[in-house]
């Protein structure tokens, strides 16, 4: 394999590993959640919290290890040497479990509110409570996926900062990105201040990937960059207005696409 194709393959493998890590965690959190009563879930005792933190932390470890593996594989393809150990700061486990705890409280807050509202012998209330339980579980699982993927993103951010061989970086978007990620991807390897490379929402599998001398952005990613840049240039306004317009139009089309896809699935059933 050529340097370039090894580099491309490493990026693709990393991307797919991260999607798998967050999707399999999503399933594990969902099945764990189904075993909790609304009372226990709303209360979030220290035992419940530890279980959630452990689920997130295991996946985040895997994600971080994939980040290190990918950075080394990409660097080796370009420069024929892996990075020295010293480019990685290592994980801050206390900070990570604090973030998981905050995520749990945020996503279970609507459930706590609901539980105080009614009585358990009222069928209407039970139905509403079930719905609040399901929606809290969905949001929590999605956010767990985001936290897990932060592992790999942290590893890459550390390497990007500390590895002198990194000459730039760019956003590789997932198949159906949001307007924010598409806007960042349209910049290619040029980042500016308002484009914080490490902002990712729940459900986003986009990645900020490094570039090295001797290799280029993979053709597939360069094509997307060009496509989004054409869109950007055709967007009305300038500065913050243009940014808002771009995201609004992009997200609106994405929503329509997703609704159309859902409807065609329902028509097939
Ligand atoms: Zn994204």
Q: Ligand 1 centroid to 96 CA: how many Å?
A: 21
Residue 246 pLDDT > 90, yes or no?
Answer: yes
Q: Is 203 left (phi over 0), alpha (psi -120 to 50) or beta?
A: left
Query: Three-class SS of residue 170?
Result: strand
Rounded to the nearest whole angstrom, what is the distance from the C-alpha of residue 79 to the centroid of ligand 1? Answer: 29
Residues 6+ apart with CB under 8 A from 223: none
Q: Residue 183's closest CA among 142, 191, 93?
A: 191
Q: What is the mean pLDDT of the chain?
A: 92
State in Å: Cα 171 to ligand 1 middle: 9
CA of 144 to the centre of ligand 1 (A): 16
Q: How far is the CA of 37 from the centre of ligand 1 (A)?
A: 33
| Tokens 């459930």, located at residue | 111
Tens of pLDDT, residue by residue over 126-135, are: 999 999 999 9
Identify the pLDDT of residue 266: 79
Calculate how far, in angstroms, residue 176's C-alpha sits from the geometric centre of ligand 1.
8
> Residue 266, exposed/middle/buried by CB under 10 A (0-12, 13-18, 19+)?
exposed
C-alpha 113 – ligand 1 centre gap (Å) = 31
Q: What would the mean pLDDT of 229-240 be, rounded to a whole number?
A: 94
For residue 261, name the pLDDT band (cuts at 50, 70, 90).
Answer: confident
Range from 1-5, 14-18, 120-124, 153-157 carrying the lowest mean pLDDT? 120-124
pLDDT for position 263 = 87
The pLDDT tens digits for 94-150 are 999 999 999 999 999 999 999 998 887 888 999 999 999 999 999 999 999 999 999
Please, what sign has the CA dihedral across residues 60, 30, 126, 120?
negative
The pLDDT assigned to 193 comes to: 47
Highest mean pLDDT among 151-165, 166-180, 186-200: 151-165
Q: What are the structural domain ranges in the chain? A: 3-167
State the distance from the centre of ligand 1 to the C-alpha of 214, rounded, in angstroms: 27
The CA 23 to ligand 1 mean position distance, Å, reads: 15
pLDDT digits (tens, 9 = 90+) for 6-32: 999 999 999 999 999 999 999 999 999
Ligand 1 midpoint to CA 205 (Å): 6
Dist. CA 147 → ligand 1 center (Å)? 14
- Identify the weakest region by mean pLDDT among 13-22, 58-67, 154-163, 189-198: 189-198
Q: Is the pLDDT of residue 194 over 60?
A: no
pLDDT at 54: 98
Measured in Å, residue 61 CA sits from the centre of ligand 1 at 21
Q: What percent of the chain lies above the pLDDT cut of 90?
A: 80
Tokens coding 228? 């989004």
CA of 250 to the centre of ligand 1 (A): 12
d(CA 32, CA 26): 10
The CA 129 to ligand 1 mean position distance, Å, reads 32
- The pLDDT score that the predictor gives to residue 109 is 97
Centre of ligand 1 from the C-alpha of residue 177, in Å: 5
Task: Tell me how far the alpha carbon of residue 181 lies from the centroid of ligand 1, in angstroms.
Answer: 5
């Amino acid at each position: 394999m050529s340097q370039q194709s090894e580099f491309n393959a490493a990026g693709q493998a990393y991307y797919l590993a991260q999607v798998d890590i967050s999707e399999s965690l999503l399933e594990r959190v969902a099945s764990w959640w189904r075993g909790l009563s609304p009372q226990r879930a709303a209360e979030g005792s220290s035992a419940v919290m530890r279980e959630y933190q452990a689920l997130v932390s295991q996946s985040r470890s895997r994600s971080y290890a994939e980040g290190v593996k990918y950075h080394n594989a990409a660097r080796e393809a370009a420069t024929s040497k892996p990075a020295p150990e010293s480019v990685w700061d290592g994980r801050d486990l206390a900070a990570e479990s604090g973030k998981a705890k905050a995520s749990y409280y945020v996503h279970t807050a609507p459930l706590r509110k609901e539980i105080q509202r009614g009585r358990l012998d009222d069928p209407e209330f039970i139905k509403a409570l079930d719905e609040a339980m399901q929606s809290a579980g969905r949001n929590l699982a999605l956010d767990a996926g985001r936290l897990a993927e932060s592992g790999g993103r942290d590893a890459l951010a550390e390497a990007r900062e500390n590895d002198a061989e990194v000459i730039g970086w760019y956003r590789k978007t997932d198949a159906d990105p949001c307007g924010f990620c598409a806007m960042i991807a349209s910049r290619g390897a040029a980042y500016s201040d308002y484009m914080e490379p490490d902002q990712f929402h729940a459900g986003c599998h986009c990645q900020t990937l490094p570039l090295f001398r001797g290799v280029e952005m993979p053709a597939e990613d360069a094509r997307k960059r060009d496509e989004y840049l054409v869109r950007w240039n055709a967007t009305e306004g300038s500065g913050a207005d243009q940014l808002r317009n771009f995201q609004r139009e992009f997200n609106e089309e994405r929503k329509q696409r997703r609704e159309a896809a859902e409807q065609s699935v329902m028509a097939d059933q």
